[in-house]
Amino acid sequence: MVGKREAGMQGLETDLDSLRALKRRAEDLASTHLEALGLFHLAEEVSPLANLSDEVVGIGGFANLMPGEEVARDGTAKASLAGTARCVRSLRVARDLRRGNADYTPFIEAAIDRHARQDLATYGLDHLNPFTLGQVLPVLREVAGRGGPTWG
């Protein structure tokens, strides 16, 4: 018969083994994080996200859907603001992102330029609509370093 203490220790070891297996699974899934985001990165040809672990990379816009071959991947294609906000949020928690290697200046400049052109909108919605602002402004605040938690 196993005592209460021994039974508790066995349960704890089983829990730890389960947590270790879960951690390994999460690490396996995260191993392709930058590669997956790179599929949507509209400047992937000139600023590959895979380089974020080794060097500073300019983070510009991202596509809402995976861009076709006809879409330029050199940073000149029009980005989806909501898609970019989602991808930047995801990018900032990527384990391979070395702190300080993501330069969000291109994203910030593009948002400022689109505001000046009265095009701070998501497809089919008006300039300065609540959906787009709700997606973009919190991310801009984070990457510009003005308040809230700091990521990546």
Query: What is the per-residue pLDDT for 61?
Result: 94
Cβ(83)–Cβ(41) below 8 Å: no
Query: What is the per-residue pLDDT for 27?
Result: 82
- pLDDT band with cut points at 50, 70 and 90 for residue 149: very low
Distance from C-alpha of 149 to C-alpha of 133, rounded to nearest angstrom: 19
pTM over 0.85: no
Q: What digits encode the pLDDT tens for the residues 31-78?
A: 888 999 999 999 999 999 999 999 999 998 999 888 888 898 998 999
Task: Give 78's DSSP letter.
Answer: P
3-state secondary structure (DSSP) of residue 149 = coil
Query: What is the per-residue pLDDT for 152?
Result: 46
Average pLDDT of span 15-19 = 88
Residue 35's identity, in one-letter code, is E
Distance from C-alpha of 144 to C-alpha of 98, rounded to nearest angstrom: 17
Distance from C-alpha of 18 to C-alpha of 78, rounded to nearest angstrom: 45
Backbone angles phi, psi at 52, to 5 degrees: -60, -20
Average pLDDT of span 8-35 = 82
Q: What digits encode the pLDDT tens for the residues 76-108?
A: 999 999 999 999 999 998 888 888 999 999 999
Query: What is the per-residue pLDDT for 49?
Result: 95
What integer best gives the mean pLDDT of the chain?
87
Residue 82: how many CB atoms within 10 A of its CB? 20
For 77, what's the count of Cα atoms within 13 Å in the CB-facing half-sphere?
A: 23
Query: What is the per-residue pLDDT for 42?
Result: 95
- pLDDT band with cut points at 50, 70 and 90 for residue 151: very low
Residue 150 has pLDDT above 60, yes or no: no
Read out DSSP for 13-55? HHHHHHHHHHHHHHHHHHTTHHHHHHTTBTTTTTS-GGGGGTS
Rg of the chain over CA atoms, in angstroms?
Answer: 20
Q: What whole-number percentage of the chain has pLDDT above 90? A: 57
